[in-house]
A = this chain, B = another copy of it.
């Protein structure tokens, strides 16, 4: 395995791009803390009682500035943490450096958190990083303990969780399957990594799985995998679905994309969005945020949907709803936010306008059929700048593909902004506390956070926006049949 050689340190092992970026990163963290009132409030509320003392958290989540504030919040609440990114392009190298150095360390004497992440990892490097968050032998040695893995996973997209499940599955089967033609390139990398692991130990992942109190997962896709595991009775430990907290799915997915999609388009291409025809595949929370942002910039937005309810919403919100096939020649910018695969295919690309832009804000890079593009006869890739490729097509026209078809709001911009992430991450921290402090409430299965915690997350963010909340009188609460302090809505309420 070849790994690029970013900075490491004698103090503890980590691997990042450049430790000297720590000061720049620390500036960013300081600004971000001002925008993450939920996390800062948790530090105030739980900084002394340290409910996460003893927690060993393996984190797999975009190593951005915002995640850095999350990590330091977990530490402030008593946890030990190891971290990797969950996307090869999403690391902000200055944030990673600041986390390695820590608030009290220096570049020469880092005193932060073991972090394994840099912008522009190869797939092999990516999965190597992911395995590092499960290797707690140094910490165990330092503590004189026998455990060697984490007791909690904090996941985004489910890669860390999947690694444990696959690792244990192959250990049970005593063999890692051979590569199959139908597998993705990435799955081949995973199998290779697990082959190495199985050769080295027959029960490493079995042991890791046994120690885990659970996982908190924050994406639609990761949650979908968890429900599938639970439905198939293969889930190995409890899981809290943070994605479906209202303050996550309706905030991160919608308002985060509303911010970071145009940001990424601008940084990548500087193309005027106003007046352009933009196609948004999917009108879930992500698509709603995307469509609103682009409309707010004066674009004409066309939406596609498979679900008649979401399609009707799009129409009622004033958008044309059409199949990609019907409008592909008229579109300047294609945005995919579906969670599906092969949404934008080479058959579409060949019909696109010259220099049409393709941007994925869904989940995996396979929303765009990059695999087919890469083997398309007569297609040639010219890098315009990092994460922006011109593909010259046999149609005689070019298209611009952002972040190689992966999440462009992370690859071409800096991901969702701090305030949005503060909502998501406050849910994450509360979920970690639930799993660690109240394991009896969570037998193996998938859970959402109780509504009063969801409301608490919102409440912690109101003051920063100058929101005055109206308070029910006891008579009104009685009339409505709800407590003055909430929760205020029935569980199936949709917001």
Contacts and interface: CB of A to CB of B under 8 A. Distances in A.
B272 A419 contact: yes
A375 interface: no
Give the 5 A-B CB pairs with smallest separation, nearest first.
Answer: A296-B296, A272-B417, A308-B458, A272-B419, A308-B459
Interface string A230-269: 0000000000000010110111000100110011001101
29 contacts: A27-B390, A28-B384, A31-B271, A224-B480, A247-B309, A259-B272, A259-B273, A270-B414, A272-B417, A277-B466, A295-B296, A296-B296, A304-B470, A306-B470, A306-B488, A308-B456, A308-B458, A309-B458, A309-B495, A310-B495, A311-B458, A311-B467, A312-B465, A315-B467, A321-B467, A321-B469, A326-B468, A330-B466, A340-B472
Copies in the complex: 4
Nearest to A481: B228
Interface in A360-385: 382, 384-385
Nearest to A487: B307
Contacts of A267: 263, 266-267
Given A247-B312, A258-B274, 8 more contacts: A28-B270, A35-B271, A224-B481, A251-B312, A259-B273, A272-B419, A339-B480, A340-B480
Contact of A297 (B244, B258, B340): B258
Interface string A394-416: 00000010000000000001100
Interface of A: 24, 27-28, 31-32, 34-35, 65, 224, 227-228, 244, 246-247, 249-251, 255, 258-259, 262-263, 266-267, 269-277, 281, 292-293, 295-301, 304-324, 326, 330, 339-342, 354-355, 382, 384-385, 390, 400, 413-414, 417-420, 423, 448, 454-456, 458-459, 461-462, 465-473, 475-476, 479-481, 486, 488-492, 494-495
A429 B258 CA distance: 37
A266 B259 contact: yes
Contacts of A448: 492
Contacts of A385: 24, 27
Interface centre among A28, A458, A479 (most CB of B within 10 A): A458
Question: A423, A461, A473 — which one has the most chain B CB atoms within 10 A of its CB?
Answer: A461
Contacts of A274: 255, 258-259, 316, 318, 419-420
Contacts of A492: 244, 448, 491-492
Contacts of A354: 34
Given A306-B488, A326-B468, A480-B340, A300 B312 contact: no
A420 B298 CA distance: 13
A218 to B, nearest CB: 16
A39 to B, nearest CB: 14
Contact of A462 (B262, B308, B414, B465): B308
Contacts of A266: 259, 263, 266-267, 413
A68 to B, nearest CB: 13
Contact of A316 (B65, B251, B319, B342): B251
Nearest to A27: B384
Contact of A465 (B228, B276, B296): B276
Contacts of A275: 255, 312, 315-316, 318, 419, 465
B315 A465 contact: yes
B271 A419 contact: yes
Given A275-B419, A318-B274, A297 B471 contact: no
A491 B312 CA distance: 18
Counting chain B CB atoms within 10 Å of each CB, the highest count among A28, A272, A299, A473 belongs to: A272
A249 B413 CA distance: 30
A318 B466 CA distance: 12
A466 B209 CA distance: 51
**A31, A341, A480: most-surrounded residue (chain B CB, <10 A):** A31
Nearest to A277: B466
Contacts of A258: 274, 297-298
